[in-house]
Structure 1
Amino acid sequence: MNIRSVAAADEGGTTVGRQERKRRKLYDQLYDTAVGLFVAHGFEATTMDQIAEAADVARATVFNHYAQKVGFLEEWGVRRRARVAEILGAEHAEDLPVDDRLHRYLKEMADLNIASRAETTVLMDASARHGRLLQDPSLEIELARIVEEGRLRGEIRAGVDSDQAGALLAACYFSTILRWIREEPAPFDLHQRLRGALGIILRGLLADSTDSEAS
């Protein structure tokens, strides 16, 4: 490759990078605008036209980035899970015992919900009504992965199905959040409720032989 070709390739790479940055910036702008409108006016009452107007872009531009309004709800969930993964990654949480790791994961999720309760109330409710909140396997896959890593380290019983455990934990999380957003002010301490639920799941409901003997 001659010098001119190298220069052209570099220029092309710069152009592609710039275009991607612009695309991502607009994607984020539309997301922030939509979430703000959802919180202010409700998910159902907000239209794609209103999002376009508030973001000062053409209606077609919104649809180019988010084919459906529900896409904003899916992106909201993706960003929350990514934020928790970033926090736990920085803390090297993968080195913790599986029970501590699950507690830390749910704690960080709870922290995000508490810090933005109004946003969580609107978008979690909308996700349950209009999105794929209970069908999207993303959270249960992440939790199942943590359980499976614990099983491989001998911290989880060999007979435990990691996928089933992940689904159970995700369902518990979502049902707890949906009850938590139902009333204002919050009807219970979210951290405490999630800790208690996780403790029950980790220990199981039936007393083992040592518990029976102790009683």
Structure 2
Amino acid sequence: MTISEAGGASAQDAPPLGRRERKRQQVRDQLYGAAVELFVAQGYEATTMEQIAESADVARATVFNHFSQKVGFLEEWGVRRRARVAAILGQEHAEDLPVGDRLRRYLGEMADLNVASRAETTVLMDASARFGRLLQDPSLETELTKIVEEGRQRGEIRSQVDPDQAGALLASCYFSSVLRWIREEPPPFDLPGRLDGALDIILLGILAHP
């Protein structure tokens, strides 16, 4: 199992699935795992839907029932990463942290996932940027904007700060850092440290100071 497969809502929070839904999710997980392994082993472009079906031991039509396009696996990868981080922070009740610490925990967990699965991150992040909607997908930006907005409501963020703009800045910083980090081998810098330093700079501009 890849690290990104471990994502999703916790078993305590998610409602129980019926037998049919469990079976469908099992097949989806099987397809996803097979696709990610093939992408890492031979590259995204070189992998076909037929190969994914063969690796998962299902009919080709089954793949398209779950993922109508190959790019769907890239989107699923991002969804599972964010879900994994949300589950971790939810268990820690990170919503009770000061906004700066909460943002640091969120970006730190995202960075740690990338570091722990560098080969996977290198292939799938690059493919997401080249063939997917990595920079157009607002999902990460939305998550970060929500954290900033909640901090502003508690008086921790300056009232003049636009949460949408701050969320977009944070998301852009994350993606640009990761895309630079995967370009070279060995990594050109420590990713968690780079994101932590960038957050320090951003917080100087958005935090409310007594």
Normalising by structure 2, we get a TM-score of 0.89
Equivalent residue number for residue 156 of structure 1: 157
Tell me, in whole angstroms, the C-alpha distance in 2 between the residues paired with 1:97 and 1:19: 42
The residue aligned with 2:59 is: 58
Report percent identity of matched pairs. Answer: 79
Partner of 2:111: 110
Aligned counterparts, 1:157-176, within 5 A: 157-176=158-177
Structure 2 stretches of 5 or more lacking a match?
Answer: 1-16
Q: In structure 2, what residue type is equivalent to 1:145?
A: K
In structure 1, the partner of 2:18 is 17
- Asked whether 1:121 is paired with 2:122, we answer yes
> Aligned partners of 1:54, 1:127: CA distance in 2, in Å?
22
Q: Give the Cα–Cα distance (whole angstroms) in 2 for the partners of residues 35 and 127 of structure 1.
A: 13
Deviation track 1:46-105 (CA, whole Å, cap 9, x = no partner) reads: 000100111111111100000000000000000000000000000010000000000000
- Residues of 2 paired with 1:114 and 1:87: CA distance? 16
Q: Following the alignment from structure 1 to structure 2, what is the Cα–Cα distance between the partners of residues 20 and 141?
A: 28
Q: 2:39 maps to what in 1?
A: 38
Q: Which residue of 2 aligns with 1:180?
A: 181
Tell me, in whole angstroms, the C-alpha distance in 2 between the residues paired with 1:21 and 1:149: 35
- Whether 1:74 and 2:84 are equivalent positions in the alignment is no
Secondary structure in 2 matching 1:164: helix
Alignment partner of 2:19: what SS? Answer: helix
Deviation at 1:204, TM superposition (A): 3.2
Give RMSD over aligned pairs: 1.4
Deviation at residue 183 of structure 1 after TM alignment: 0.3
Give the corresponding residue for 2:14: none
Q: Distance in 1 between matches of 2:202 and 2:172?
A: 12
Partners of 1:54 and 1:86 lie apart in 2 by 29
CA distance in 2, matches of 1:142, 1:68: 25
Deviations, residues 107-165 of structure 1 (Å, cap 9, x unaligned):
00011000000000000000000000000000000000000000000000001100111
Q: Greater helix percent: which structure?
A: 1
Q: Kindly state the Cα deviation for residue 19 of structure 1 after the two structures are TM-superposed.
A: 1.1
The residue number in structure 1 matching 2:99 is 98
CA distances 1:146-203 after superposition (whole Å, capped 9, x unpaired): 0000000000000110011101100000000000000001110111100111111111
Distance in 2 between residues matched to 1:191 and 1:133, nearest whole Å:
20
AA partner of residue 191 (structure 1)? P
Structure 1 unaligned residues grouped into runs of 5+: 1-15, 209-215
Shift of 1:30: 0.1
CA distance in 1, matches of 2:97, 2:21: 37
SS at structure 2 position matched to 1:204 = helix
| In structure 2, distance between residues paired with 1:94 and 1:59 | 43
Which deviates further from its counterpart, 16-25 or 110-119?
16-25
Structure 2: distance between partners of 1:162 and 1:149: 9
Which structure 1 residue ranges, 4+ long, deviate > 6 Å from structure 2?
none
